[in-house]
Structures are given as C-alpha cells and as structure tokens.
C-alpha cells in the first residue's frame, strides 16, 4: 500500500513510498524507498503472484491507483530525481520491474493486469500521462488487461466522491472517459465505479465501452446478481444505492444485512410455505440475531 499502509501495525515501522510525502487520510509520514526497498518489494510482488497461481487462481491484478505502484506514477507523490522519478518513463520503471518479476514467477499462461487511475485531478496524473504509461506497459508486454478507475483515494472526500463515488454521484459517471481510453490503448479494459445496475452494465458491454464490468459493491448488495440475470429475475436484484458503508474496515450494507455478518446471518432465505413462518433451507438465525426470515 505504500504510504497508505498502517505505521502502527506489527513492528510499528514507518510506511514506505517513492518520496516522503505525507498521506492525508491515514496521516502517515512515509520513508522514501532506497534501492534495497525497491528490490525487496519487487521480489515480494512476484512471490505473492506465485502463491496465487499455486492456489489455483487464473490471474492477478496489481493495484496501482493510490497504492505503491501508482504512487511512483504520480507527480504528486513521486518527487525523486533518480531513475525512478521525473519523466513518465522513469516513473513507470518500478511498475515494469514488478510486472517483470510477476511474469518470471508465474509464466506466460497466467493472466496479469493492473488497476490504474486515469486522472488524479489538479497537480496529479493527467489522462495524457496515463496513456503514455499504458503504452509503455503494453509495449513491454507487462499486462494482459487494464482495470481503470478515476480520482484519488488519499483523502476522505476524494475517496467517496471520485475514487469510489457514492449516492451523491450519478450512476456510471466515468464510462465516457474509460471508453476513450479503451479506444486508444487497444487492450482489454475493465472498469468499476458505481456501475451498480444491470442496465448500465449491459450498455457498457453492448456498445463496446468496456470488455468487462466489475460490479463490486453491487455484488455486496446482492451476491446473486448473475444467477438472477440467468433466471430472468432482474426485477428481484437487491440494488446497491451507494451508501458507501461497505468501503470501511467493518463492512455493512444498507440493503443486505448479511454482508459482513456471513457467519451470523444467511445470505439466502427461502420463501416460507406458510405466511408469517420462518423460511427453511437458507440457514438458521442465531440466538440473539433478531428478526424473522419470514416469507413474502
């Protein structure tokens, strides 16, 4: 996580980052990474990817936007004057080292992507710089796909208004920007940012705006989205309304009380054969949990 990490965890060591630029949201003062730090972190990325492959996953995605790789990309957070700072080419060097090591550990058949922000706003990464970064990653064969986001996550306001927009923002606010990026880069592009309804997701795929829609919060609200679409039951999908209770450490969802409480509450409650009776087959409500799993 770079400067977004927790300096008060484990051994209480300072967080590390490209430069000693404070992170506002978590109030960390990071230590600027030296070459030893860079080498060991690059190696750790590769080892993590290898464990994912050994665990049976089909691929991995590094998180650049706001986290360590993205901090090297950003002129707001990378003030270095060595080979890892300054030009776009230099700021991309750390990402290339990471992805080269991942590929060395997992081979060519494992899918490897990166999630990066397309625009950080005033003083940060611009869309044209991100296009240059993406072209470098494509040229070097570092990625199989790109997962696009927008904005920053290093302050409370930018996190909930830009990076993970909530109910104060319209649905799918960044489709036009991501679509432009996809047309330019020519690689598979994923996107997740308040695409919470099936209509917008279907439009994004049908019109060629995206190659895959990532509906993270929508699946927290209703993990049965795909099953309900396949059964022709879209009207029964429990909607995500963007309340954003799910983005914090203790996950909650206004429309799905079982999210974050899966060991206590059932995700599915079957319809009762008799009105007013508890449903069966969907798990039992624990003592003290309250409420009824009643039918409709």
Q: What is the DSSP letter of 144?
A: S
Tell me the longest C-alpha to C-alpha distance in the chain: 72
Q: Which of 26, 67, 203, 245 is catalytic?
A: 67
Residue 22 CA neighbour count, 13 Å, CB half: 6
Residue 93 CA neighbour count, 13 Å, CB half: 15
Sequence-ordered alpha helix ranges (H) in 86-238: 88-91, 93-106, 127-139, 156-158, 175-185, 198-206, 216-221, 225-230
Residues in the chain: 296
Torsion of CA 65, 67, 69, 72, to 10 degrees: 90
> Please, which residues have CB within 8 angstroms of residue 180's CB and are 6 or more apart in sequence?
none
**DSSP E strand boundaries for the chain:** 16-17, 31-32, 59-63, 111-117, 145-149, 189-191, 212-213
Distance, in Å, from the CA atom of 59 to the CA atom of 54, rounded to the nearest integer, reads: 11
* 67 assigned to active site: yes
- The residues that are catalytic are 67
């Amino acid at each position: 996580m770079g400067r977004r990490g927790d300096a008060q965890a484990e051994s209480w060591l300072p967080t590390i980052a490209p430069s000693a630029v404070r992170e506002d949201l978590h109030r960390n003062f990071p230590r600027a990474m030296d070459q030893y730090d860079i080498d060991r972190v690059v190696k750790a990325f590769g080892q993590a990817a290898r464990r994912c492959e050994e665990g049976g996953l089909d691929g991995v995605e590094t998180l650049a936007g706001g986290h360590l790789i993205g901090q090297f990309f950003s002129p707001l957070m990378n003030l270095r004057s060595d080979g890892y700072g300054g030009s776009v080419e230099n700021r991309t060097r750390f990402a290339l080292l990471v992805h080269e090591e991942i590929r060395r550990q997992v081979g060519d058949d494992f899918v490897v992507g990166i999630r990066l922000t397309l625009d950080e706003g005033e003083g940060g990464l611009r869309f044209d710089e991100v296009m240059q970064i993406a072209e470098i990653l494509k040229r070097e064969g570092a990625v199989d796909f790109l997962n696009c986001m927008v904005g920053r996550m290093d302050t409370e306001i930018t996190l909930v208004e830009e990076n993970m927009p909530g109910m104060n923002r319209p649905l799918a606010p960044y489709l036009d920007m991501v679509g432009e990026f996809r047309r330019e880069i020519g690689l598979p592009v994923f996107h997740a940012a308040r695409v919470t309804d099936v209509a917008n997701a279907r439009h994004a795929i049908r019109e060629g705006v995206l190659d895959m829609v990532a509906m993270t919060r929508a699946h927290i609200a209703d993990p049965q989205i795909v099953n309900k679409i396949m059964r022709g039951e879209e009207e029964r999908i429990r909607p995500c309304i963007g309340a954003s209770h799910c983005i914090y450490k203790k996950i909650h969802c206004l429309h799905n009380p079982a999210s974050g409480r899966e060991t206590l509450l059932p995700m599915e409650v079957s319809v009762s054969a008799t009105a007013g009776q508890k449903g069966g087959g969907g798990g039992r409500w624990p003592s003290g949990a309250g409420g009824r799993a009643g039918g409709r």
